[in-house]
């Protein structure tokens, strides 16, 4: 176990270095932040050069990257060009809202997918099975931003049941979570159905039924537990997609998360904030994937991590 954890942490370091290099180069393709900051003052070339020196942008790009990496290791991602505050602090202020939305969307997906996937597998070939598969396909096919707009029109504008934007109590979270989690719900439903069908045809399930165990116990204690391995894998992978999808949903619902901050910072060419946001999200995703791997051993004791 410990050897596996050390290896994963070692590989994660190289993953983060690669991500930092990609985002460092890509964000600089958006344009010159100094020209954006001084666009209203008709600055001279001397003013531009002085601002680049103050922002540490006057050095060659490779030197800038090495300096950035050396400071990032200590948690220093620089100061925001626009707000003149530590970039990591800005991101950490917004991160709870993004994680709240992501976890709510995942909860919505699980609450929908698990009952539907099990019902569909147990009712294989029936009209109910066909209906569940159709609903899951629709969920996968709908773009989350389109679903979000439809939810706003119906439940926010016409019925006035839910607030259309901002954050607050549970009411503010319902529509963004449904819009973000709908595609994952469809994916999990189809995956759980397929996994359950494979498990239900195994010999040990027939043996459990022959021993007189109730259908509910066979499904929950034997079939479902052994069908969870591929579902957990997809949940870990989809967590990153939900974090990425939250960027769009946060803008649709004016949710004050990291997604809105990143979009705004890209428009303002605020390099430190974009870099801090992407790297912090990458750290969270790597951590979640590691936890999913550890959960394998809990769900199925036969799985060992070497």
pLDDT digits (tens, 9 = 90+) for 201-249: 766 666 666 666 656 666 666 666 677 777 877 787 777 777 766 778 8
pTM: 0.79
Question: Is the four-CA dihedral 70, 75, 81, 84 of positive or negative sign?
Answer: negative
What pLDDT shows up at residue 152?
92
- Rounded to an integer, the average pLDDT of 148-164 is 90
As a whole number of Å, the end-to-end CA separation of the chain is 6
Dihedrals phi, psi of 165, to nearest 5 degrees: -160, 170
Classify domain 90-268 by CATH number. Answer: 1.10.3720.10
Residue 303's pLDDT band (boundaries 50, 70, 90)?
A: low
* 102 closest CA partner among 273, 235, 234: 235
- Percentage of the residues of the chain whose pLDDT score is greater than 90: 14
Note the pLDDT of residue 175: 92
Q: Cα–Cα distance between 175 and 249 in angstroms, integer? A: 10
Q: Where are the domains of the chain?
A: 90-268
Residue 192: name the closest of 223, 215, 216 by CA: 223
pLDDT of 274 over the 80 cut: yes
Range of lowest pLDDT (141-155, 173-187, 199-213, 233-247): 199-213
């Amino acid at each position: 176990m410990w050897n596996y954890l050390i290896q994963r942490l070692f590989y994660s370091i190289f993953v983060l270095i690669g991500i930092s290099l990609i985002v460092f180069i890509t964000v600089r393709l958006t344009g010159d932040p100094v020209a954006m900051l001084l666009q209203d003052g008709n600055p001279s070339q001397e003013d531009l050069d002085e601002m680049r020196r103050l922002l540490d942008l006057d050095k060659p790009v490779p030197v800038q990257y090495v300096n950035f990496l050396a400071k990032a290791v200590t948690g220093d991602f620089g100061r925001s060009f626009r707000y003149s505050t530590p970039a990591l602090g800005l991101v950490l202020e917004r991160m709870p809202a993004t994680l709240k939305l992501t976890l709510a969307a995942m909860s919505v997906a699980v609450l929908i997918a698990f009952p539907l996937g099990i019902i569909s597998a147990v009712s294989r070939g029936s009209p109910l099975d066909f209906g569940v598969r159709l609903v899951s396909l629709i969920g996968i096919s709908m773009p989350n931003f389109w679903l979000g707009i439809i939810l706003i029109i119906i439940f926010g504008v016409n019925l006035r049941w839910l607030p259309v934007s901002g954050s607050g109590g549970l009411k503010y979270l319902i529509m963004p979570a449904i819009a973000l989690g709908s595609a994952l719900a469809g994916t999990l439903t189809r995956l759980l159905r397929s996994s359950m069908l494979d498990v239900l045809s195994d010999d040990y399930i027939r043996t459990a039924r022959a021993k007189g165990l109730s259908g509910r116990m066979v499904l929950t204690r034997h079939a479902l537990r052994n069908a969870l391995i591929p579902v957990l894998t997809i949940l870990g992978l989809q967590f990153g997609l939900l974090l990425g999808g939250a960027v769009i949903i946060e803008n649709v619902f004016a949710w004050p998360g990291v997604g809105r901050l990143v979009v705004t910072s890209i428009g303002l060419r605020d390099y430190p904030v974009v870099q801090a946001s992407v790297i912090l999200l990458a750290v969270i995703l790597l951590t979640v994937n590691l936890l999913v791997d550890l959960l394998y051993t809990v769900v199925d004791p036969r799985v060992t991590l070497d």
